[in-house]
Amino acid sequence: MNPFVRRAKKTIQKYVMLQPGERVVVGVSGGADSMALLHVLWELRRDFRLSLVVAHLDHGLRLEGQAERSFVRKASVQLGIPFISRKVDVREKQKEQRLTLQEAAREVRYSFLLEAAKIHQATKIALGHTADDQAESIIMRLLRGSGTRGLGGIPPVRGEVFIRPLIESWREEVERFLKERKVAFLTDPSNRSLHFLRNRIRHELLPILQQYNPRLRQMLVQMAEIFRAEEDFWQNLLKEKFPALVRSQKKISVTLDIPSLIAQPLPLRLRSLRYATKKILGHLRRVGLSHILAINHLLDSPEPNKSLQLPQGLCLTKAYQALTFAQSREEILPFAVSVAGPGCWEIPEIGREMRFEILTSHPRVRPKSSSWVALLDFDKVAFPLTIRSFRPGDRLQPLGMEGEKKVKDLFIDCKIPATQRKKIPLLFKNGQLLWIAGLRLDQRVRLQPETQKVLRVELI
């Protein structure tokens, strides 16, 4: 067996990339790496009893796209392998989702490959990344300030679907194999352009660094493998510990307990913050170590209520001992509802209603235990009334107190998060605040022995 093919086979076995009898979609651009991958899997098809499908995507970025498609199709026909292709407008995708060109290209490429696998009922998708790609990726992530997860580099297997059989093979080995087998391949001129960071690392930075250590690439690949093993350990521990940190979880948000977070060792705490971020966004694109450290700094802030806006619309809200992750801040519009008389009055902005009922004073009338029910002296609060949202400067004379107090101070005393305060309806008679629903009644409208009529108000 050819040494290059043997190395790829060992990589496949090492990372359990394939099971006998699987159907594999091979992503082939026509470049050296993907053509080598195609021929390696074709030579190993009997060892693993594989059936192969070639998938080619034209990103619509270069005039050579049609010729490249024809080249890959011809190579597939020569090997007797089914061929599927598609042309997409990556620049349109870039504009629609406000991505970089490389991000948009990656999005459409992976989407196409997954669709091709579904059409052909394939269980694996093979990609042609090499050890050189691994070394370059690690330097790129180091320059961007990645944590240990990012420094783990390109995973040999991702999501139990994407596999990279050449991830332990070097580019010079790829080229030697293609030359020995007389396999033609295409050269992408953009691979020489120094406009792209990866190319600058490949053609400029790495050669300089290798003057200090000729084995730098090998060391980077080895380091990535160690980091991935350590990250696997942390991820398993995180799955065990994370549920105990969660106060509540909804479809669009997750709330963590701050004291429990702070009690965790720093490595586990940072991973918990990143894990919660990924649960909300579904990915970690454009969210780097600096952003996770900013969230951690928010935990240590002495301010009980504070928020932080991160990329991708991620909003962090700290409210006393709770930290909430949400993709966008829920905005509550100011509201004001005029109440002309008894009945139910809807408050659409918060999705609730307030019910008003006039009762005759009687010994059986007593304040209910529910904080959502208030009993007021009707003679002092005759209709019309107003239900509205909180405004700065609102004041109340709390039941049992002689002087007035700012509503904001009451919210702080009751530890009501700043994001929740606009959801709490306030009941007014002219400019006098009568009741903060669920919290406090004004001393001046309380029931007294001489009360003749009672206004019962309930927030539903």
Q: How far is the C-alpha of 277 from the C-alpha of 287, rounded, in Å?
A: 9
Q: How far is the C-alpha of 21 from the C-alpha of 15, rounded, in Å?
A: 17
pLDDT of residue 302: 86
Give the DSSP letter string of 58-93. E-S-STTHHHHHHHHHHHHHHHT--EEEEE--HHHH
pLDDT of residue 176: 96
Give every residue of the chain whose pLDDT is below 50, as ranges.
Answer: 363, 365, 367-368
Q: What angle do CA 368, 336, 396 make, to 5 degrees?
A: 55
Tell me the per-residue pLDDT of 60-76, one tens digit each, with 9 for 90 and over. 888 888 999 999 999 99
Q: How far is the C-alpha of 225 from the C-alpha of 253, rounded, in Å?
A: 34
Q: Whose CA is closest to 125, among 111, 136, 114, 133?
A: 114
Fold of the domain spanning 244-326: 3.30.465
Tell me the per-residue pLDDT of 444-459, one tens digit each, with 9 for 90 and over. 999 988 888 999 999 9
CATH code, residues 3-209 = 3.40.50.620
Residue with tokens 């928010």: 298
Per-domain boundaries in the chain: 3-209, 244-326, 336-459
* 128 close to 166: Cβ distance less than 8 angstroms: yes
Q: How far is the C-alpha of 22 from the C-alpha of 121, rounded, in Å?
A: 10
Q: How far is the C-alpha of 201 from the C-alpha of 195, rounded, in Å?
A: 11
Q: Do domains 3-209 and 244-326 have the same CATH topology?
A: no
pLDDT of residue 329: 53
pLDDT of residue 282: 85
pLDDT of residue 331: 54
pLDDT of residue 103: 79
